[in-house]
Structures are given as structure tokens and as C-alpha cells.
Structure 1
Amino acid sequence: MFKHFVITRFNLKKKDWVTNKNNVEVLTDEWHYNRFRLFNDFCLSTISNQTNKNFEWLVYFDSSTKAEFRAIISDIEAKLPNFKPFFVDGMDAYLPAIQSYIKASDADYVITSRLDNDDSVSKDYIDIIQQQFIEKPFLAIDFINGYTLNTSKPYRLGKKLHQFNPFISLIEKNDNPMTVWSKTHGNWKKEKNLIQIKDHRIWCSIIHTENKVNEFTGYDAVNLEHFFKRFTFSSTTEESIRHDFQDQSHWTLLSTKNKMLSNYKYYRRKLKKQLGFYK
């Protein structure tokens, strides 16, 4: 009936992406070592532990990727059958490569889900997305509630409310599919065929020093034991978080501020969409 593809870009070159938020050069060897560490600790570990294995994970690397990093990629491929690495010539080749591969699928419908290489998803992420499937020619699914983790010690974990976020999925008839990467995640606000789901928290954005623009906007107390029952980080990362975790009671004012701002943005965007401001 359908095939499900999770799609991630890793180190694709782009003309306007040369530094991170701290003005440090990206795509260097040091950047790659740090990014593979983040990928292993937060992203790969959560995809590896999915309860539903009925999906393909398409991960796109730049054709200029060095042999030492290709060896790491090959090792992941050997251990995780769902993992499908591709090497393409920068961001200009990214979307055409995705569309070409998915179009070749023999499924009547496809689901494409966007996932950044430094973020995390719950064990039931794939399963819950597939539970939303209906035979619609074009339908975007926006899970607006999730979590966010600040990895600068002490660790802080909070809830997050984010419409049109980087975890959007798209159901399409497999007839020249556009895929979820045909728009930047923020531009899905213009899509009429979009539903927003509040009932499930299936994603966690990871805030770290190499983020381009992200900052910690978490709020409310989160039970760490409950969280780790659903989100599987690497064992060393989980141990580190447990050791240096700062409960929300230590940042109550920030939590209150973030919650108020998050709700303000949510209702403002909701109203603007209802009034047709996003075109």
C-alpha cells in the first residue's frame, strides 16, 4: 500500500553555509568528527531502536566525503539494514536524487519524513507516523509537540511546541512525488493540505554548540525516567545526562518565559494561517 522513507542530509555543501552560529567553519575534519559523534549519540541510536522496522532511512552525504568518513558510513550500513547511504554533489543534487529514488518505488503511496542528523525521535516514531496514513494524494503531517534537550552542561530537558518544524512528514500518491524536502520546513505553513497533531511527542530537538541558529526554548518539568523509556540515546550519552541533569525547578523563570513565548507564537501562527496570511 505504501512505503515509508525517512530522509536525512548530512554534510552536503551549500554556498551560503560556511560557518555555524559561533562563526566557526563547517565541513572541516573537526566538524565531521563532532557531527558523527552527535549523529551516533542522538540520531542513529534512536532510529536503530525503532519498534516498527518497515521503513528505509535515506541519508545523503556529499560526494567529496573523505575515505575515513566513508568507512564509518559503511560500518553503519553493515549494522543497520534500514540505513541507505547516498553520495551526491552538494545541495543542488539533493532533491532530484531523493525524488528519483522514491519515484522508482513500486508502492502506490509514499510517506516521506524529514529528520535532521543531530536530532532524535522516540522508539514509536515510525509506528505513530504510519498510523496516520490515509489514501490522500497529498497530505502533510505536522507533529507540533515534542521535546528539546540542551547539551551544554548541566543538561536541561523540556517540552517544546513548534509548528511547521523539522520533523514534518508527507503522504503522497507515488506519481512524480515531490517529497517532504521539496520545501523548507518553515514553508509548509503555506500548505492547505496539512494536519497538525498534538497528541504525540515523538521528537526531540538537540541543542548543541554547532547549531546554526537554534537555542533552548524548552519548558515544564519532564520525567527523565519516562523520557528514556521512549528515547534511546547512546549508553555513554544517557549516563552523562543522568549524571549532570538539571531539573526544571532550577530554571523555573526560563521555563515560564519559554512556555509563554511558545504559546504566543503558536496562536499567532494559527490565526495567520486561518486568515490566509500564508500564501
Structure 2
Amino acid sequence: MALRHVLFTRFNVASPGKEAEIRLRPGWLDVRFELFERYCLPSVAAQSRRDFEWIIFFDEKTPSPYLDRIEALRAVFPFRPHYTALFWLGDMTPDLAGDGRADWILTTRLDSDDLLAVDFMQRLREETEVPSPQVVNFDNGVILAPTAPVPALYARRDTSNPFSSLLERADGPIRTIYGVTHREIGQFGRINAIQGAPAWMQVVHGGNVSNEIRGRRISVRTVDRLFPHMALGAQAAQEPPLALAVDNIVQRPVRTARRLGRRVLARLGVR
């Protein structure tokens, strides 16, 4: 049984409109490259299992100075840059995933500012060792708020997250994990919901409009071995003694109330 595994990441391919102009600006690109180089790229390079391909989508109008930067980053991990004007990756990824030799196609999604735990790919391949059409979703992860002097870490459970994978036969119509949004993965069919240790990390930062702090705050040393390049364990000694308790007892309920309030106002049409 031949299986081809492709990891897909969208970097600066924008939706039509004003967003397209923003994602080509040097200031915006500088921040995105910094996030990618600090978080995403090292986490993929650190994978304990590396028999996968990584295709990263860049806008075909990406300014030339950044093209050299992209090539230099390929020395860290040999990803394949794909330059395109298409926003809907579901229209393009099937052709990139199929190679005519594999019996099964496994595709995984990863945002350019997020991280994979060091054993993510190993755990994923163990789950797909006996192939059957399925979505694999690692429900447990963490959210990182890079605060000073020590980053704050929150345990998060998400049953339909942007780290999901799709295993499908290569002899039929290939859809890839980008065939639907990550909130709609149930449309593919069976979801293999994996529990256990955190498998991913999302970073909350100023340029991220969709992520927010959620979950129960935990010590940074909890996931040190899963994200070794972050050196979280070395920062644990600086964690304020009462920070976790105060956050979970006081601040977490406040965050939850605010989130629920926004939902109610949104349903009422109030902005």
C-alpha cells in the first residue's frame, strides 16, 4: 500500500478585495515571516517522522526581496513553494496531491503561524496505518499568548480544528483537506477524533483575527517536550506563582462571559 502524505500551508494568498493588497505589503509580510520562522517552520523541521511533503502557497505577486528569503528558509526544511493567485485552495490542491503512483492520499492543513507537536506526524501515521477513508482530528492542543516575561499557555479542546487531515483513495475524485473549511470537516464523512497529549499549538497575536485566548491556563512546562524548540521548560521558573490560579478562577470566567455576550449581540445584529 503506497501512501502519499502532503502538508499544505497557505502563507499570503489572500481573498479577493482589500485583503489582497494588505498581504503584499512589506510591513505585513515582515510580521508573517517572523511568525513563520519563530513558530511554524521549526515545529515542522523538528518532526520525529519526516516522510511527508510540505507545499506552501504564496501569492504570485509576492515582492522579489521575499523570494530570496523563501529560498533561504528551505534550508531549514525542504518545503515546496507554490506561487498562485488562487484563494480557494480546494480548487488547486487535488492536482498537487495526486501523483499517479500512490494508492492513498493523506493531506494535512497547517496555518503559517501555528505549530505541530514534535510527534504529530508520527501519531497521524499510526492512526492511518490501516487505511480507510477518514478525517483525522487531534482534539487536544494548546493556545499560546506570548506575554512577558513568560508566555501564557492554555489547554484547548477543539473537535474541528485547522490541524485536521483527510485520508482518501487515490483512484477516486481527490478533494484534499482543503475541500471544505476546517469547521465543515464532517462533510467528508467519518471523523477519527484522537484524544491524548496536545498535538498542536495556536499562537494569539495582534495580526490573528480568528484566534483568541480560550481554555484552562496550564504551566508552560507541561508541553515542553512536545515543542522542544520553544524551550518552554526553561521559562517555567519565571512563572508567577499565583498566575495560573488567578487566571483560571477570575479571568477565565470573564473571558467566557465576554465571548457569550458577543455571540448574543451578533445574533441580534448588534455590532
TM-score (norm 1): 0.81
**Equivalent position SS for 2:168:** strand
- SS in structure 2 of the partner of residue 214 of structure 1: coil
Alpha carbons 1:2, 1:109 under 8 Å: kept: yes
Match of residue 77 from structure 1: 74
Shift of 1:13: 2.3
Structure 2 residue identity aligned to 1:6: L
CA distance in 1, matches of 2:165, 2:157: 17
The within-5 A match list for 1:170-181 is: 170-175=166-171, 176-181=173-178
**Hey, what's the Cα distance between the residues in 2 that align with 1:143 and 1:78?**
29
Gaps of 5+ in 1: 265-279
| Whole-angstrom distance in 2 between the partners of 1:14 and 1:259 | 30
* 2:244 aligned partner: 248
Q: Which has the higher contact order (CA 8 A, sep 6+)?
A: 1
Q: Does 1:47 align with 2:44?
A: yes
Q: 2:83 corresponds to which residue?
A: 87
Q: Is the 8 A contact 1:219 1:258 kept in 2?
A: no
Letter matched to residue 228 of structure 2: T
Contact 2:90 2:180 in 1 (8 A): no
For the structure 1 residues 254 and 156, does the alpha-carbon distance in structure 2 shift closer, same or farther, using more than 3 Å as the test? Answer: farther
Distance 1:241 1:91 in 2: 39
What is the alpha-carbon distance in structure 2 between the residues aligned to residue 29 and residue 245 of structure 1?
A: 35
Aligned to 1:123, the other structure's residue is in SS state coil
Which residue identity lines up with residue 209 of structure 1 in the other structure?
G
Residue in structure 2 matched with residue 275 of structure 1 by the alignment: none
Matched, 1:38 2:35: yes
The alignment partner of 1:91 has SS state of: coil
| Alpha-carbon distance in structure 2 between the residues aligned to 1:239 and 1:32 | 30
- One-letter code aligned to 1:55: F
Whole-angstrom CA distance in 1 between matches of 2:80 and 2:95: 14
Partner amino acid, structure 2, of 1:169: S
**Aligned residues of 1:148 and 1:205 also touching (Cα < 8 A):** yes
Q: How does 1:259-278 map to 2 (within 5 A)?
A: none
1:71-129 CA distances to partner (integer Å, 9 max, x unpaired)? Answer: 11111223423x1111111314x333321121125111111111000001111011001
Give the unaligned 5+ runs of structure 2.
Answer: 261-271
Question: 1: CA distance between counterparts of 2:190 and 2:18?
Answer: 31
Matches of 1:194 and 1:251, distance apart in 2: 33
User: Partners in 2 of 1:108 and 1:56 — Cα distance?
Assistant: 16
Deviation at 1:151, TM superposition (A): 2.0
Residue 103 in 1 paired to residue 98 in 2? yes
* 1:115 and 2:116 matched: no
